[in-house]
Amino acid sequence: METTENKQNDKQFWGMDEKNYSMLMHLSQFGGFIVPLAGLIMPIVMWLTNNKESETIDAHGKNIINWMISSVIYAIISAVLIFIYVGIGLLIILVIIEIIFPIVGGIKANRGEVWKYPLAIRFFK
């Protein structure tokens, strides 16, 4: 007889298991490099289509959305601070972080871990 945990692990999300789907949610933020706004839209669509079916996917999605909103806020603040020359450095750091965080989140998701992005403001809990 299968346990509930085994049934959850066998569940497919867009043809992928939960770990791979969660990893792809993190990495889909890079979709904006290929198609404009895809990096914003794709993680949201992936989260909203399966957040009710998996607590893990819901947790990953909330963390990703919190980071995306936070990074927009940080970008706006940095853009304003460009006028006092501090913002240029902050924008460069933000771009580097926006590359590193989704990669780390994807690796952790593939290991089955839910990783909260550092510096992310928690809008969704």
The amino acid at residue 13 is F
User: What is the pLDDT confidence band of residue 5, given thresholds at 50, 70 and 90?
Assistant: very low
Which helix (H) or strand (E) segment holds residue 63: the answer is helix 55-81
**Average of per-residue pLDDT across 29-52:** 90
- φ, ψ for residue 3, nearest 5 deg: -85, 170
What does pTM read for this prediction?
A: 0.83
pLDDT of residue 64: 95
pLDDT of residue 14: 63
* Mean pLDDT across the chain: 88
pLDDT of residue 3: 44
Do residues 28 and 46 touch, judged by C-beta distance below 8 A?
A: yes
Which is it for the CA torsion 62, 67, 73, 76, positive or negative? Answer: negative
- Residue labelled with tokens 């957040």: 51
Do residues 15 and 1 touch, judged by C-beta distance below 8 A?
A: no
CA-CA distance, 118 to 25, in Å (whole number)?
A: 17
